Amino acid sequence: MKKLLLAGVALNMMLSGAALADITIGVAGPMTGQNAAFGEQLRIGAEQAIADINKAGGVNGEMLKLSIGDDACDPKQAVAVANQFASQGVSFVAGHFCSGSSIPASQVYAEEGIIEISPASTNPDYTDKRPGPGIYRVCGRDDQQGEVAGGYIADKFKGQAVAVLDDKSAYGKGLADQTMKFMEAGGVKPAVTESYTVGEKDFSSLITRMKQADVKLIYIGGYQTEAGLIARQAKEQGLNAKVMSGDAIVTDEYWAITGDAGEGTLMTFSPDPRKNPQAAPIVAEIEKSGKTAEGYVLYTYAAIQAWAEAAKKAQSTEFEAVTKVLDSEALPTVVGDLKFDGKGDVTLPGYVIYEWKAGKYDYLTADASK
């Protein structure tokens, strides 16, 4: 239906001699709510990418405009955002952030012929069970992330008590399950496993249970708010265990919650694109405006770059033409040359381990891993 409507609009414009309109693309994520820090990362990356692409002449001679969708990491809101984008005639969406949003929204995008490239959704089901072509991600997967985390835990904490916690979300539970699978394969079984609810504030009883088990490492599959509270409350209550989590604590907000209790926290995340030479001018431009290129800013930028490059090569923004390029060619982006496999997963390097120190995160050094 959407394609017929768009074809009619295009025909009317041609007959009337009107100029083509700007191309509207979408960015979707938690612009409000407790994960709004990540929505801000997506928005910053999208706005910078569009500014740079337009400055260079746009896409096939047309300028890009941005429509921002707020899903608050809620599946129902994500579907509403996807439908809103469809009604706007959006042909591409950079998003969503939470896997629990991207998965249901992808159903709408597949039905409407809208390309979706997620900068951040890591649950394997997003691509393993994608509802059709045109669904991609520029980040890695939780089974890759869990393999790195689980392998590290098995190597460094063998013979010690480990707790594995999750927040019951598609992302958090999926990541915790994958980490536990690889941890157990390496010979370490968790002494404590527990799920908590997003929005919980008091983890005293859980921390008491971990103290009784003499836990030396707390692995958390969840987002920065609860992970930060667990790390801080554990320290306050005398549990001096190492904390480890995934890419959802790649935000300064984590340290704002933990304070010094976050010192030494480990996390898995893709290689930092800010260290790429080609990213330097983009990072400088973002920082010049008082913003930061942390976390998923540059991955969002890269998602838009990939779509724009594919549209230029295809000389079209039509779904079939652009997906044909995305499915077959390596595309230059700020995070490196992006190549997608048959599922829509990216073939870039996977995950590395980072450590939080004095309010900043960087790659884990050999000395720090001892």
- 80-126, pLDDT tens digit by residue? 999 999 999 999 999 999 999 999 999 999 999 999 999 999 999 99
Residues 334 and 311 in one domain: yes
Residues in contact with 20: Cβ distance below 8 Å, sequence separation at least 6, in sequence order: 13, 62
115 forms beta bridges with: 92
- Classify residue 131: in a domain, yes or no: yes
Over residues 220-238, the pLDDT tens digits come to: 999 999 999 999 999 999 9
Give dist(CA 165, CA 200) in Å, integer.
Answer: 13
- Classify residue 370: in a domain, yes or no: no
For 353-363, what is the mean pLDDT? 96
| CB neighbourhood size of 314 (10 A) | 18
Residues 167 and 202 in one domain: yes
The torsion region of residue 290 among left (phi > 0), alpha (psi -120 to 50) and beta comes to: left
- Which segments within the chain are labelled E, that is strand? 23-29, 64-70, 92-95, 115-118, 135-137, 161-166, 192-195, 215-221, 242-245, 266-269, 331-333, 336-338, 352-357, 360-363
Question: Do the Cβ atoms of 298 and 336 come closer than 8 Å?
Answer: no
- Classify residue 58: in a domain, yes or no: yes
Residues 97 and 194 in one domain: no
Q: 3-state class of 22 per DSSP?
A: coil
Give dist(CA 356, CA 352) in Å, integer.
Answer: 13
**Residue 32, domain extent:** 2-140+275-338
- Classify residue 346: in a domain, yes or no: no
For 325-339, what is the mean pLDDT? 96
Residues 242 and 133 in one domain: no
In 3-state terms the chain splits into helix, strand, coil percentages (rounded to 5) of 45, 20, 35
Does the structure show a pLDDT above 90 at 76? Answer: yes
- Classify residue 219: in a domain, yes or no: yes
Q: Which of 96, 103, 31, 91 is CA-nearest to residue 64?
A: 91
In the 8-state DSSP scheme, what is residue 11?
Answer: H
- Classify residue 181: in a domain, yes or no: yes
Q: 3-state class of 126 per DSSP?
A: helix
Residues 117 and 77 in one domain: yes
- Whole-number pLDDT of residue 311: 98
Residues 131 and 226 in one domain: no
Residues 6 and 127 in one domain: yes
Residues 72 and 13 in one domain: yes
Residues 260 and 298 in one domain: no
- Classify residue 345: in a domain, yes or no: no
Before 96, cis peptide (omega within 30)?
A: yes
Averaged confidence pLDDT in the chain: 93
Q: Which of 15-19, 183-187, 205-209, 307-311 has the lowest mean pLDDT?
A: 15-19
Task: Give me the number of domains the chain comprises.
Answer: 2
What CATH number did the domain enclosing 129 receive?
Answer: 3.40.50.2300
Over residues 24-70, the pLDDT tens digits come to: 999 999 999 999 999 999 999 999 999 999 999 999 999 999 999 99
Residues 239 and 148 in one domain: yes
- Classify residue 38: in a domain, yes or no: yes
- Whole-number pLDDT of residue 21: 66
Residues 153 and 245 in one domain: yes
The answer to whether the pTM exceeds 0.75 is yes
Over residues 129-178, the pLDDT tens digits come to: 999 999 999 999 999 999 999 999 999 999 999 999 999 999 999 999 99
Residues 161 and 113 in one domain: no
